[in-house]
Amino acid sequence: MKSAIRTDWQVPLALLAVSAIPCAAGIARLAGLASNTAFNGDSERFFASPVTVILHIISAGLFSLLGALQFSTGLRRRYPQWHKASGRVVAASGVVSALSGIWMTVMYPIPAELQGDLLFGVRLLVGTSMLVSIALAVTAVIHRDIARHRAWMIRGYALGLGAGMQVVVLLPSMLIMGTPSALQRDMLMSLAWLINLIIAEMVIQRRSWGTFCFYRGIL
């Protein structure tokens, strides 16, 4: 029994761990905005227009943390009403996160060394794809197509968890190769979303239960 519980919680806990660093950075950003203290040397755009970034940090945090709990089969079965209620929060926060992410990509004056043309296009594509995935997931659950609902929510969650995987991808690369160039940074950050989508599709197709444990293995 204890072994089954541990197995059921391996994936949610691993996803929570992957989300921890971006969430911590978001909290630090909110604290900086509240105290009018620069989070780093590139904070002017956030002080100039703080509402969108505040919405993005809060919604992305809710999406990643509550979304991770949806992967617990035991939790879903034991508390179905909680699953439905929290699922609505996850979907709504995912929409806000995607829309605010698109707005910041287009409207914020992001330095070229932090976002080149490649990353600009990928961020727009990811945000749009995330919105479409959540919309299709909601439509599917309305029509009681649970399998399709889960598949699209997994895809949407994979896209929303891009920041977590970007930490996993960027840190080892920086330790091995040093500070990446602007293009290399764009490519590595884009690669993180691609990795998440590949994992999502493998999970959806149930090719291997070990795919669920991928995040745990890379921590």
- Tell me the per-residue pLDDT of 3-41, one tens digit each, with 9 for 90 and over: 545 567 888 898 999 899 889 989 988 888 888 766 555
Measured distance CA(126)–CA(162) in Å, rounded: 9
In this prediction, residues 109-119 reach a mean pLDDT of 90
pLDDT, residue 43, reads 66
pLDDT, residue 210, reads 46
Distances (CA, A) of 74 to 141, 149, 199: 20, 18, 22
Of the two residues 24 and 217, the one the predictor is more confident about is: 24
- Maximum CA extent, the chain: 53
Measured distance CA(93)–CA(125) in Å, rounded: 18
Please say if the pLDDT value at position 62 is more than 70: yes
Average pLDDT, the chain: 86
Look-up of token digits 């990509």 = 105
| Amino acid sitting at position 136 | L
Predicted model pTM: 0.85
Please say if the pLDDT value at position 216 is more than 50: no
Please say if the pLDDT value at position 79 is more than 90: no
Return contacts of 118-121, CB within 8 angstroms, 24+ apart.
118/183, 118/186, 118/187, 118/190, 119/185, 119/186, 119/189, 119/190
